[in-house]
Structure 1
Amino acid sequence: MRISVPATSANLGPGFDTLGLALKIKNQVTIRPAKFHSVSLKGEGSNNPILKDNNMFIAIFNDFYNNLSQKKRSFRFEFENQIPLSRGLGSSSAVIVSAIASAYAIEEMELPKEKLLNLALAYESHPDNITPAVMGGFTVSSVEDNEVKFINKSIPKSLSAVVVVPNRPISTQLSRKTLPYKYSKEDAIFNVSHSSLLTAAFMSENWEMLKIASQDKFHQSYRMRQMPELFEVQKCSLNSGALMSTLSGSGSTLFSICYFEDAKKIEKELRAKFPHFKVFISGFDNYGIKVEA
């Protein structure tokens, strides 16, 4: 069987730990019956032997498979990774949801996406990445009584993403330590209003509102100071025609949305100005995780 999960960009500026969307960049794992356990890895992370020996996917898969199955079977896991590691594009969330879904699929047990989301919550306490990874599209999510409550919306083909992946990471754990312990009432109101406006802009497809709505006072500037060139990447993206440009998750990736016809121009400008960073165009994924037997 084959399981694919899209990359995700979370926060989207003011939607701290609540907003996210799915990209047409995927991690894929093919699982085959085998005489003994084995792992192969292609793409992102393939040059890191630690990922084979200390594989989070295998650990989570085994947790669920051993609980669901009475059989003792061995498998070959073939990973093809497109999602950059530790760059704020949801690589960990992709591993979590695909590992859980794989265990259920191998046992031919039905797993509704809503249940998958809630199972994944035990490994990823914030729903902003796991929700678009599972459901696809643009998602607004919250956690109530240990359950993910969400609304999602498909993103039209008239939009594209331009993604800038720096050559070094920003640690999620360390970046959270850079954030203020307390926020002023004014900053809180600013973020609530802009997150609400951003959500309304996506739902109503008012794309011209994205630039204003994606402004943030909770986390972006604090995190971007760890890699000051990101401010220039953001400025270049917006000046080149992006509708919005935000830090992806906790970084270090800078994520921009633009009209489809503007994407190549923006990509060209960014590549010329930041040759040491990886720059590419992506569409959006409106389906989320796929399991194909």
Structure 2
Amino acid sequence: MFVSVPATSANLGPGFDSLGLAVDLRNQVELVPSRFFAVSIKGEGENNPRLKGNNLFVSIFNEHYRRLTQKRQNFKFTFYNQIPMSRGLGSSSAVIVSAISCAHEAAGVKVSKRRILNHALVYESHPDNITPAVMGGFNAAMVEKQKVFSQQKHLPDYLKAVVVIPNKPISTAKSRTTLPKSYSKENAVFNLSHTAVTVGAFFNEDWEMLRLATQDRFHQKVRMKMLPELFAVQKMAYDNGALMSTLSGSGSTFFNMVYDQDAKMLADKFKAEFSDFEIKILGFDNDGLVVER
């Protein structure tokens, strides 16, 4: 059995803790019953021995498997990781979602994506990453009475993401401590209005509106100061036709949306200017969580 979950980019400018989308970069888990517990990691994190001994996936999997079956069972887990860790591309959400899904599959319990999403909320209190990880596409999400309510929009093939992945992480927990404790009414209204128009632009496929709509006054500039090169990344993106250019989650990755024909040109410019950073051209993922039996 294989379970795979896509990378995500959250916030998307003004949609703090509420907007996110999925990109075509996946972590996959292979799960087989075994006489002995075993963990193997290939790709991202394979050289980090702590991940084998203190594995969030295994902890969440065991919690749900025992709840569902009332018994213990050894498994061999093989992780094929493509999502960079601690770079704002939803690697933690991918772990949470895949662990919950694997536990239900191993227990033989059918479960909806919506139920998995609500289980994931226990481990990740903000729905902006976990929602596109489960549902795919672009998502606007909110939490009400410990449940996620969301609206999803498929993204067309003629759009691409050009992601700039710095060689330094930005800790989500640390970056949150740098944010203001309160916001003025003016800035709150600014973000509310820009978030509303961002959602409308995605659903109406008015991509040219996104450059204006995705401006933010809540978190981006404060977080970008932790890695000042990101200001130059954003300027280069907009100088070269990007439809939107936003910090991915809390960073350090920067997410840029472009038309398909402009993707290589922008990626080449990034590679020439930011040689220490990893540049990827990615499609968008409309499938979200996938289980292959």
Scaled to the shorter chain, the TM-score interval is: over 0.9
In structure 2, what is the equivalent of residue 157 of structure 1? 157
Query: What does 1:42-61 correspond to in 2, within 5 Å?
Result: 42-61=42-61
In structure 2, what is the equivalent of residue 273 of structure 1? 273
Hey, what's the Cα distance between the residues in 2 that align with 1:71 and 1:149? 32
In structure 1, what is the equivalent of residue 36 of structure 2? 36
How far apart are 1:71 and its partner, in Å? 4.1
Percent identity over the alignment is 58
Residue-by-residue CA offset, 1:46-81 (whole Å, 9 max, x unaligned): 111111111000000000111111443211100000
How far apart are 1:111 and its partner, in Å? 0.7
In structure 2, what is the equivalent of residue 283 of structure 1? 283
Hey, what's the Cα distance between the residues in 1 that align with 2:72 and 2:189? 55
Secondary structure of 1:249's partner? coil
Hey, what's the Cα distance between the residues in 2 that align with 1:51 and 1:172? 19
Hey, what's the Cα distance between the residues in 2 that align with 1:164 and 1:155? 20
Q: Which moved more, 1:235-244 or 1:150-159?
A: 235-244
Hey, what's the Cα distance between the residues in 1 that align with 2:115 and 2:72? 25
Hey, what's the Cα distance between the residues in 1 that align with 2:148 and 2:27? 23
Q: Which amino acid is the alignment partner of residue 172 of structure 1?
A: T
In structure 1, what is the equivalent of residue 27 of structure 2? 27
TM-score (norm 1): 0.99
In structure 2, what is the equivalent of residue 129 of structure 1? 129
In structure 1, what is the equivalent of residue 63 of structure 2? 63
TM-score (norm 2): 0.99
How far apart are 1:240 and its partner, in Å? 1.5
In structure 2, what is the equivalent of residue 230 of structure 1? 230
| Pair 1:260 & 2:264 matched | no
Secondary structure of 1:162's partner? strand
Hey, what's the Cα distance between the residues in 2 that align with 1:126 and 1:189? 21
Hey, what's the Cα distance between the residues in 1 that align with 2:130 and 2:273? 33
Residue-by-residue CA offset, 1:160-204 (whole Å, 9 max, x unaligned): 000000001111111111111111111111101110110000000
Hey, what's the Cα distance between the residues in 1 that align with 2:72 and 2:143? 35
How far apart are 1:137 and its partner, in Å? 0.3
In structure 2, what is the equivalent of residue 195 of structure 1? 195
Q: Cα RMSD between the aligned structures?
A: 0.7
In structure 1, what is the equivalent of residue 95 of structure 2? 95
In structure 1, what is the equivalent of residue 292 of structure 2? 292
Structure 1 stretches of 5 or more lacking a match?
A: none
Hey, what's the Cα distance between the residues in 2 that align with 1:67 and 1:16? 33
Hey, what's the Cα distance between the residues in 2 that align with 1:53 and 1:178? 31
Query: What does 1:243-254 correspond to in 2, within 5 Å?
Result: 243-254=243-254
Structure 2 stretches of 5 or more lacking a match?
A: none
Q: Which amino acid is the alignment partner of residue 76 of structure 1?
A: K
How far apart are 1:33 and its partner, in Å? 1.6
Q: Which amino acid is the alignment partner of residue 9 of structure 2?
A: S
Hey, what's the Cα distance between the residues in 2 that align with 1:10 and 1:221? 15
Hey, what's the Cα distance between the residues in 2 that align with 1:54 and 1:97? 17
How far apart are 1:32 and its partner, in Å? 1.1
Hey, what's the Cα distance between the residues in 1 that align with 2:10 and 2:226? 19
In structure 1, what is the equivalent of residue 114 of structure 2? 114
In structure 2, what is the equivalent of residue 73 of structure 1? 73
Q: Which amino acid is the alignment partner of residue 97 of structure 1?
A: V
Residue-by-residue CA offset, 1:102-149 (whole Å, 9 max, x unaligned): 000011111101111111110000000000000000000000011101
